[in-house]
Amino acid sequence: MKQKRATAIAPANIAFIKYWGVRDTTRTLPYNGSISMNLDACLTTTTVTFDENLTRDEITLTFYQQAPHLATGVARERVVVHLERLRALAGTDCYAKVISSNNFPSDAGIASSAAGFAALTRAGVAALGLELDERQLSLLARRSGSGSACRSIPSGYVEWYLPSTEFDLVQWDQASYAKSIAQPEHWDLTDVVAVVDTNAKKIGSAENHRLATSSPYFATRLAEIPDRLAAVREAIVQRDFTKLGQAMEADAVSMHAVCMTSHPPSFYWNGGTMNIIHAVRSWRSEGLEAYFTIDAGPNVHVICETADSEVVAQQLRQLPGVEFTIANMVGKGTRLEEPTTPDVE
Ligand code: PMV
């Protein structure tokens, strides 16, 4: 192999039922199943080039509205560790050049790491000429450390399954992957992301996944989740927006209650976040049906039927603290942008 290159585009995803708490950090195995939709407008594009002339991995990241920069520290380390996984699968020790850019704010609760690691996995696998099916790609993306990346691989509405509790960790590792529940065309929902802060969060979700079990409410959350997962699955199949919204909001509040009561606690919300929560609840009482959910950051995802999305976005932009909105319909999964190039001298 002289030089092998591929480019992939991956969507961020928003979880209706959240992955929170890591059972096994080495394999990135969750305590609970989760369900999400892919976001068609929040994308990461990544080109991976394996090149025999390189003497180390070179990783260039372009964050939202920023100049490209060479990744250092933990950000670089996470990518290098994942490249090592890919190299081990392909039986090569060739270093790679990775060029990755996001068209949305990073590390602010819009699943930038999910999109980033899904794109890195897809592009890296293609560049190395590995033939992996969707399940294997999803498993591999999950092992990146950003578990939710496994949900950005399949298309549309996606569930990350919780394997049988009788399995050991090695069996879990093979069985914990994500699969589509429904394609994007199945149901016209929109996630209007209301951005109240474009800065990176102070505590990454990786650290807080480890702290989740320190909350006295974590066990309660886990006990509630099977019913909520069933409700969300059914709601998607039946296109029952009220059922989806109620389960989704309850799950977001439960996840944040765990964050706020972990040791040490994390408070991701700011004043703008609270303004949106109150507004969405009040719009609902006036007949505009929309529901909020929030990842590990202050920005709020307001989910509505697409027919209502312009009104929702307009009203959100009038709220104090809202800088801008990004409307996302349900998106496709991770895909290659161009075929793998042949060996280049
Ligand atoms: O996959 P991670 O480690 O980036 O964590 C994702 C955590 C949440 O976004 C809050 C929930 C989720 O399921 O996406």
Ligand 1 atom with the smallest distance to the CA of 18 is: 13
The b-or-e profile of 327-337 (16+ CB within 10 A means b, else e) is bbbbbebbebe
| Pocket of ligand 1 contains residue 19 by CB under 6 Å | yes
CA distance 79 to 131: 21
Question: Is 86 a member of any domain?
Answer: yes
Q: Tell me how far the alpha carbon of residue 54 lies from the centroid of ligand 1, in angstroms.
A: 33
Ligand 1 atom with the smallest distance to the CA of 147 is: 1
Question: Is 276 a member of any domain?
Answer: yes
The three-class DSSP label of residue 341 is coil
Q: Read off the tokens for 307.
A: 């027919």
| Pocket of ligand 1 contains residue 266 by CB under 6 Å | no
| Pocket of ligand 1 contains residue 254 by CB under 6 Å | no
pLDDT score for 107: 61
Question: Is 23 a member of any domain?
Answer: yes
| Pocket of ligand 1 contains residue 114 by CB under 6 Å | yes
CB under 8 A, 24+ apart: contacts of 132-139:
134/179, 134/333, 135/177, 135/179, 137/334, 138/177, 138/178, 138/179, 139/173, 139/174, 139/176, 139/177
| Pocket of ligand 1 contains residue 117 by CB under 6 Å | no
Q: Tell me how far the alpha carbon of residue 113 lies from the centroid of ligand 1, in angstroms.
A: 9
Question: Is 274 a member of any domain?
Answer: yes
| Pocket of ligand 1 contains residue 38 by CB under 6 Å | no
Question: Is 344 a member of any domain?
Answer: no
Identify which of 20, 32, 161 to mutate to test ligand 1's pocket (most ligand atoms within 8 A of the CB): 20
Question: Is 304 a member of any domain?
Answer: yes
Ligand 1 atom 9 nearest Cα: 295
In total, how many domains does the chain have? 1
Ligand 1 atom with the smallest distance to the CA of 22 is: 3
Q: Which domain holds residue 192?
A: 3-329
As averages over each run of 10 residues, the pLDDT of the chain (345 residues) reads 87 98 94 97 96 97 89 95 98 97 77 92 98 97 97 98 82 94 98 89 78 98 98 98 98 98 96 98 98 95 98 98 96 84 47
Ligand 1 atom 2 nearest Cα: 146
CB under 8 A, 24+ apart: contacts of 16-19:
16/232, 16/244, 16/247, 16/248, 16/251, 16/293, 16/303, 17/225, 17/228, 17/229, 17/232, 17/247, 17/248, 17/251, 18/251, 18/252, 18/255, 18/295, 19/147, 19/148, 19/160, 19/209
Ligand 1 atom with the smallest distance to the CA of 13 is: 14
Ligand 1 atom 3 nearest Cα: 146
Residue with tokens 């050991």: 168
| Pocket of ligand 1 contains residue 206 by CB under 6 Å | yes
Q: Which residues pair with 328 in a beta bridge?
A: 191
Amino acid letter for position 90: A
pLDDT score for 213: 97
- What's the predicted TM-score (pTM) here? 0.95
Question: Is 345 a member of any domain?
Answer: no
pLDDT score for 342: 47
Ligand 1 atom with the smallest distance to the CA of 19 is: 13
| Pocket of ligand 1 contains residue 22 by CB under 6 Å | no
The b-or-e profile of 36-72 (16+ CB within 10 A means b, else e) is bbbbbbbbbbbbbbbbeeeeebbbebbbbeeeeeebe
Question: Is 32 a member of any domain?
Answer: yes
CATH for 78: 3.30.230.10
